[in-house]
Amino acid sequence: MNLAQGVQLVSFAILALMTLGAALGVVLLSNIVYSAFLLGGVFISISGIYILLNADFVAAAQILIYVGAVNVLILFAIMLVNKREDFPAVNSGSWSRKGATALVCFGLFALLGTMVLVTPWSLDLSGAIANTVLTIGQHFFSDFLLPFELASILLLIAMVGAIILARRDFIPEKSSKAETETPVLTLPERPRTLASVGSSNKED
């Protein structure tokens, strides 16, 4: 075993420990903010494992998308709503609940484990690809064209949905019956007018 292999082994051990530890922390900690930050740790450790597998582009993309976008959005959502309240512990006496959870988790683990062991992986041991970006791009536009386009359509749908949810003025106003109800439970925000660009210009 030469120097490079030793370094690789040690880094893999550290990264695996980090991934498992952080993932357990995400699940087991009661503070949701800690869980969200540890999720970022899991993503970064996984990107380290990608680097060990010579997948440099995938590793960088993992950091950019999962840490930089997904995890930041999760944290954003938590911090905008979190009031730092201590949640009362759920009825911990019932063993049936814990038993069912354990059963489901173990079942999933067994399923995934069998899948990993049974699938005939086509391993390519010829060494690192010189230009991973080029190879990935060529695959995207030849034999993986359909999944690639489907994924982009899915993202487009999600984006349109998010825009419609964010711009509530496209949703038609409720009938006047709703206005007669007591406005106790409305959100403390400015009432929104039916805004369209042309009409607001005229008003100005």
Partner 1 sequence: MVRAILAPSKRPNKHLAWQMNTGIDLQGNFLQTLKDIGLPAGVAKALWIPLPLFLMLVTATVGVLVVVWLERKISAAAQQRIGPEYAGPLGVLQPVADGVKLVFKEDTLSSKSDRWLFTLGPVVVVIPVFLSYLIVPFGQNLVITDLNVGIFLWIALSSITPIGLLMSGYASNNKYSLLGGLRAAAQSISYEIPLAFAVLAIVMMSNSLSTIDIVQQQSGYGVLGWNIWRQPVGFIIFWIAALAECERLPFDLPEAEEELVAGYQTEYSGMKFALFYLGSYVNLVLSALIFAILYLGGWESPIPIEKLAGLLGVGETTPWLQAIAAAIGITMTVLKAYLLVFLAILMRWTVPRVRIDQLLNLGWKFLLPVSLVNLLLTAALKLTFPFAFGG
CB of 39 to partner 1, least distance (A): 10
Burial degree of 103 (CB within 10 A; 0-12, 13-18, 19+)? exposed
Q: Is 69 near partner 1 (CB under 8 A)?
A: yes
Distance (Å, rounded) from C-alpha 176 to C-alpha 45?
55
CB of 177 to partner 1, least distance (A): 34
CB 52 within 8 A of CB 14: no
Distance (Å, rounded) from C-alpha 128 to C-alpha 59?
14
* Of 1, 67, 73, nearest in space to 10 by CA: 1
Binding-site member from 37, 49, 52, 140 for partner 1 (CB under 8 A): 37
CB atoms within 10 A of CB 62: 20
Hey, what amino acid is at 156? L
Among positions 132-171, residues that touch partner 1 (CB under 8 A) are 132-133
Q: Is 117 near partner 1 (CB under 8 A)?
A: no
Q: Which is nearer to partner 1, 68 or 147 (CB)?
A: 68
Distance (Å, rounded) from C-alpha 47 to C-alpha 43?
6
Give the per-residue contact string, 17-36, with partner 1 (x = CB under 8 A; - = no): ----------------xx--
Q: Which is nearer to partner 1, 64 or 145 (CB)?
A: 64
Q: Is 57 near partner 1 (CB under 8 A)?
A: yes
List of residues contacting partner 1 (CB under 8 A) = 2-3, 33-34, 37, 40, 44, 56-57, 60-61, 63-64, 67-69, 71-73, 75-76, 79-80, 130-133
